[in-house]
Structure 1
Amino acid sequence: MQVIVAGADESEIADPIDAEGHDVTAIDVADGTSLADAGIENTDVYLLTEMAQATSIAVAKDHNPDVRVVVYAEGSLPEFATRQADLVIDPALLDPEAVAEELA
């Protein structure tokens, strides 16, 4: 499975996803150019780790309407992005290893 992890990744979720055997691309700032360069068109899961970059969800969906969007960050997702997110997880509730196992 192709996974893009976008954001600062303070919870360090990219490594457990990689350890589960998934192809992980990590980007710090998610915009149209960085998402295209990371291969969003062929990505199965877009995992956002910063609520401040919530607008990138719409950009990811524009590039790949079928991408599954997972938000793994503290705080509240802005209302405009909630309709496009498939799953929102608070890192205080599930550790990165548990989320990585459930992505498949």
Structure 2
Amino acid sequence: MKAILLGPDRDGLGDALETEGVELTRIEDSPNRPALEAAGITDADTLVLTETAGATAIPVAKDLTDDLHVVVYTDDDLPDFARGQADLIVDPQLLSAEAVAEELAA
């Protein structure tokens, strides 16, 4: 599985994904189309957002990759325009990074 993690990794989800054998690319800068393309979004299986400031990347990424699975892992509220395009929204206080990584890698 190939995933792109967008945003800071304060809760360690990126590390947990890599431990599960996920090929991970990280984007910490602006979540724009060129950054997504440079990270290999067209070959990715999953886009993981760790802060809602990157929510504008969801429709762009979905437009570039038909079967993309979008996971939001933050305790912030996701804007309405992006909520319907996210496949899974998880609060880090409710489910550990390790548990989420294990599910995504399965």
Decide: shared fold, TM above 0.5.
yes
| TM superposition score normalised by structure 1 | 0.96
Counterpart of 1:102 in structure 2: which amino acid?
Answer: E
| 2:53 match | 52
| 1:8 match | 8
1:91-102 matches, cutoff 5 A: 91-102=92-103
Matched, 1:90 2:85: no
Question: Where do 5+ consecutive residues of structure 2 fail to align?
Answer: none
CA distance in 1, matches of 2:53, 2:18: 24
| 1:26 match | 26
Counterpart of 1:64 in structure 2: which amino acid?
Answer: T
Q: Percent identity?
A: 48
Question: Where do 5+ consecutive residues of structure 1 fail to align?
Answer: none
| 1:79 match | 80
Counterpart of 1:10 in structure 2: which amino acid?
Answer: R
CA distance in 2, matches of 1:43, 1:53: 17
Displacement of 1:46 in angstroms is 0.3
Counterpart of 2:4 in structure 1: which amino acid?
Answer: I
CA distance in 2, matches of 1:31, 1:8: 16
CA distance in 2, matches of 1:83, 1:9: 23
Give CA-to-partner distance per residue, 1:24-57, whole Å, 9 cap, x none: 1111032101110010001000000011111110
Instruction: Give the 4+ runs in structure 1 shifted more than 2 A.
Output: none
Give the superposed CA RMSD.
0.8
